[in-house]
């Protein structure tokens, strides 16, 4: 075809070779540890292209090739979880005496790893204002090696000026990394913007059904080689069943993500009409302070956003949430089910001050009927109002 193929079409066809699969639509699941060789020479030369289950199989290769194409990457490394993708990357790119810059809106387990394991290894971490933009140049130290971004932040939803940060980092020869789980490669391709490494918790939208865990690391240039080497040295590998589920999930990613986006925007707009809500934090809404940046860089949104309630009694808020029937509480997102969690950024932010006094709630909007979700939340607000009166 002369016309460039849309990414939505690529999702259906990437990582598939029906001839090699003897005509079956989906690549087969290869499960195993030991690869057998008929001769000494083939044993040491890896005549089949694979030599041990931990180092890859046709199942792994199918997902890696698909993500390389979607991300524009030289290498993709698969890990057992999103956090493992983050920790493997940072261990590959940093050594004792190095300095790391991390957005203050970062996923909390990332912050914990920086404040414990990396600190114990002699790596210093500085957290920066997510909205710092080009001014990040002012906090780069002589020992800074990596800039870590997450845009939007997965609880507080600040959108980072990726091109400005990338330009400042590139001027100083730094490696840039972004947690791109929210956007997926359909809505943002950071490697095309000059970023070196794009990470995903594929547990979320790649798999999409809350029944498996996987992390992915897609990278270009020297960073890609360093990450692959470290992953092999650490014995990092994802489970083959999870890899196959992630590959299957890619096939419907565009359809699912579009529904998540539309449903979340509709509910976020509904929240803006509720008297109990002080602020809605959704970057696709014009009311969001970073909306212009979001429109410039992102092709779409996801199903995740937060709201800030007006100050209310904590026990009443808990009764409001405990009584919800369609919104479950759980530390994840990206699946078919709607979720809500309360959180308090004041307990962990260090570079920026959280300005809100009311309870923050993060929502992930699944595939339920919108009228049913609104009815569930309306009943919750009624419990909140009754408890306040």
Name the residues annotated as catalytic: 54, 107, 179, 204
Angle at 31 between CA 25 and CA 37, to 5 degrees: 105
Query: Which residue bears the tokens 């992953």?
Result: 231
Query: Which residue bears the tokens 């020297």?
Result: 222
Cα 104 to the chain's mean position, in Å?
Answer: 16
Angle between helix axes 253-272 and 370-388 (nearest 10 degrees) is 30
Task: For residue 95, count CB atoms less than 10 angstroms from its CB and return exposed for 0-12, middle for 13-18, buried for 19 or more.
Answer: exposed
* Dist. CA 219–CA 72, nearest whole Å: 8
* Dist. CA 214–CA 111, nearest whole Å: 20
What token pair was written down for 242? 């999870």
Exposure pattern of 347-386 as b/e (b: 16+ CB <10 Å)? Answer: ebbeebeeebebbbbbbbbbeeeeeebeebbeebeebbee
Contact 53, 46 (CB under 8 A): no
Contact 168, 140 (CB under 8 A): yes
DSSP code, position 118: I
* Dist. CA 345–CA 4, nearest whole Å: 43
Taken in order 212, 245, 55, 82, the sign of the CA dihedral is: negative
DSSP code per residue over 45-77: HTTTS--BGGG--HHHHHHHHHHHHHHT-SEEE
């Amino acid at each position: 075809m002369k016309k460039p193929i849309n990414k939505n079409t690529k999702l259906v066809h990437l990582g598939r070779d029906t001839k090699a699969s003897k005509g079956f639509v989906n690549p087969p699941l290869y499960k195993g540890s030991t690869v057998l060789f008929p001769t000494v020479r083939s044993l040491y030369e890896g005549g089949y292209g694979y030599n041990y289950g931990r180092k890859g199989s046709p199942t792994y290769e199918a997902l890696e090739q698909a993500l390389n194409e979607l991300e524009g990457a030289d290498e993709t490394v698969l890990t057992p979880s999103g956090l493992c993708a983050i920790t493997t990357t940072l261990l590959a790119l940093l050594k004792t005496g190095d300095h790391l810059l991390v957005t203050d809106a970062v996923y909390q387990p990332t912050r914990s790893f920086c404040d414990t394991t990396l600190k114990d290894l002699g790596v210093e971490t500085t957290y920066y204002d997510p909205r710092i933009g080009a001014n990040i140049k002012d906090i780069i130290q002589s020992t800074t090696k990596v800039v870590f971004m997450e845009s939007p932040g997965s609880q507080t939803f600040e959108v980072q000026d990726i091109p400005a940060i990338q330009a400042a980092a590139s001027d100083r020869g730094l490696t840039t990394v972004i947690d791109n789980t929210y956007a997926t490669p359909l809505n943002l391709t950071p490697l095309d913007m000059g970023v070196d490494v794009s990470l995903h918790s594929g547990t979320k939208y790649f798999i999409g059904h809350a029944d498996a865990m996987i992390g992915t690391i897609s990278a270009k240039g020297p960073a890609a080689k360093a990450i692959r080497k470290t992953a092999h040295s650490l014995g990092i590998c994802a489970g083959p069943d999870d890899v196959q589920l992630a590959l299957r999930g890619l096939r419907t990613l565009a359809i699912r993500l579009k529904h998540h986006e539309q449903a979340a925007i509709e509910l976020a707009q509904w929240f803006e009409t509720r008297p109990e809500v002080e602020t809605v934090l959704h970057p696709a809404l014009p009311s969001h302070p970073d909306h212009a940046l979001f429109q410039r860089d992102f092709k779409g949104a996801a199903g995740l956003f937060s709201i800030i309630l007006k100050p209310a009694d904590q026990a009443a808020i808990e009764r409001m949430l405990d009584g919800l029937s369609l919104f479950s509480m759980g530390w994840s997102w990206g699946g078919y089910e709607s979720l809500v969690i309360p959180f308090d950024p004041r307990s962990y932010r260090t570079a920026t001050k959280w300005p809100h006094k009311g309870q923050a709630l993060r929502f992930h909007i699944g595939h339920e009927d919108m009228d049913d979700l609104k009815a569930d939340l309306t009943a919750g607000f009624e419990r909140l109002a009754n408890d306040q009166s």
